[in-house]
């Protein structure tokens, strides 16, 4: 493994927690800080955008959907349309029911109330996948295949087996359900 890849793999991971409820925001931020993450929190979507604009570059975003000023749906829309933020994994943490991670364009959904261990496990899985992509041991799909298409994801490496693995994983995105 190269020096750069090794350092990026071992770097302290950054998490942006976007949550309007102070108790939840502080609990999650404190727990993640104790686990060794660099945590920045935002009270609503506009606050999160301001922090991103000022240069905070998170490895993952934890996002509530129902918030004042700029809600989670609107923030997701902005993230997806902005090239420098579109590849940041987003974990939705919400009390709203009936949403699907793939439909929302997120990496996972954790329903409130949630188990802190489930949240940590989800973050670790997403960050491990991101590290594998950064090291070139897994490729990131550029877009989902069209409905009815037999074409696998294109990863830019010409590795059809890796492309097929990514397509299968994308088809069964991480959806974490609470107990």
Write the CATH number for 101.
3.40.50.2300
Local structure of residue 95 (DSSP, 8 states): S
Kind and range of the H or E run holding 145: none
The 3-state DSSP class for residue 35 equals coil
pLDDT at res. 30: 95
pLDDT reported for residue 41: 97
Indicate the helix (H) or strand (E) that contains 178.
Answer: none
* pLDDT at 136 (0 to 100): 66
Q: How many domains does the chain have?
A: 1
pLDDT of res. 107: 86
Q: Is residue 157 part of a domain?
A: no
Sheet containing strand 60-63, strands side by side:
38-42, 14-18, 60-63, 90-94, 108-111
What pLDDT, in 10s, does the model give residues 60-81?
999 999 999 999 999 999 999 9
The answer to whether position 154 is within a domain reads no
Residue 174 lies in a domain: no
In a domain, 179, yes or no: no
Q: Is 26 left (phi over 0), alpha (psi -120 to 50) or beta?
A: alpha
Q: What is the pLDDT tens value at each position of the chain, 179 positions in all?
A: 344 444 444 478 999 999 999 999 999 999 999 999 999 999 999 999 999 999 999 999 999 999 999 999 999 999 999 999 998 999 999 887 777 777 777 888 898 888 999 999 999 988 888 777 666 665 544 444 444 444 444 444 444 444 444 444 444 443 444 33
| pLDDT score for 121 | 92
Backbone CA torsion sign across 21, 24, 27, 31: negative
Domain range for 128: 3-139
Task: Look at the pTM and tell me if it is higher than 0.75.
Answer: no
Q: Residue 158's pLDDT is what?
A: 41
Kindly state whether residue 150 falls inside one of the protein's structural domains. no
114 in helix, strand or coil? coil
Structure tokens at 56: 């905070």
User: Which ranges in the chain belong to alpha helices (H)?
Assistant: 3-10, 22-34, 45-53, 72-81, 101-104, 116-135, 160-171
**For residue 145, is it within any domain?**
no
Which pairing describes strands 90-94 and 108-111: parallel, antiparallel, or unpaired?
parallel
* Rounded CA separation 13/34 (Å): 12
Task: Establish if 116 belongs to a structural domain.
Answer: yes
Q: Where are the alpha helices (DSSP H) in 110-151?
A: 116-135
């Amino acid at each position: 493994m190269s020096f750069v890849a090794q350092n990026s793999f071992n770097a302290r991971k950054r998490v942006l927690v976007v949550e309007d409820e102070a108790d939840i925001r502080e609990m999650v931020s404190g727990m993640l800080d104790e686990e060794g993450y660099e945590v920045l929190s935002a009270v609503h979507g506009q606050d999160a955008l301001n922090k991103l604009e000022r240069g905070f570059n998170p490895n993952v975003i934890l996002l509530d959907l129902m918030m004042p000023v700029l809600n989670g749906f609107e923030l997701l829309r902005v993230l997806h349309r902005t090239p420098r933020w579109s590849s940041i994994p987003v974990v939705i943490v919400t009390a709203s029911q009936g949403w699907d991670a793939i439909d929302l364009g997120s990496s996972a959904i954790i329903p409130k109330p949630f188990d802190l261990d489930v949240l940590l496990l989800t973050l670790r899985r997403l960050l491990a996948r991101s590290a594998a992509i950064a090291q070139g041991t897994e490729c990131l799909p550029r877009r989902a295949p069209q409905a009815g298409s037999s074409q696998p994801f294109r990863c830019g490496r010409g590795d059809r087996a890796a492309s097929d693995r990514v397509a299968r994983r994308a088809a069964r995105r991480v959806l974490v359900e609470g107990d």
